[in-house]
Amino acid sequence: MYSTSTVAVPEQPRSGPRSPAEARLEVRRALEGRFRDSGTPGDEDAVSDALLVASELTTNAIRHGGGVTDFEVTLGDREVRLSVSDRSEQLPLTVRGGDEPGDLRVGGHGWPIVCRLARDVVVSDLRAGGKRITAVVPLSSS
């Protein structure tokens, strides 16, 4: 005869920002440190692009992915690599608006923004479930 029991397993601690504002703050701090250390001013347009991509990826993870489970900012020589993980295995979708000019739709704007501003976007399945989206944003608009 077999017996079964239920054991409560604590949820792994969440790592990373709890809001898009926290994601932007983490990216801004990393970039400010880079520019301060190098003694060169940052390209304001490129910084704005990186902040917007971080914000959109975080918003999507919160709204559609069950929350942010990990967040990484990695600075390269001429780029910033942003990685956001969430609990969902569902791939991001581009949502079409209406077929008539002027038709409006609610939502669905973040993913196209990420794909437009990032030089490279990769979606990876995570072994423990969920996915990681990594976007590489150039730090120079030229």
Query: Measured between alpha carbons, how far is 110 from 84 in angstroms, rounded to an integer?
Result: 14
**Quick one: average pLDDT of 2-24?**
60
pTM exceeds 0.85 for this model: no
Residue 54, domain member (yes or no): yes
Residue 43, domain member (yes or no): yes
Residue 94, domain member (yes or no): no
Sign of CA dihedral 103, 60, 121, 21: positive
Query: Measured between alpha carbons, how far is 10 from 121 in angstroms, rounded to an integer?
Result: 32
Residue 67, domain member (yes or no): yes
Residue 70, domain member (yes or no): yes
Domain tally for the chain?
1
Q: What range defines the domain where residue 46 resides?
A: 20-89+108-138
What tens digit of pLDDT does each residue of 103-112 get?
555 557 789 9
Query: Measured between alpha carbons, how far is 120 from 115 in angstroms, rounded to an integer?
Result: 8
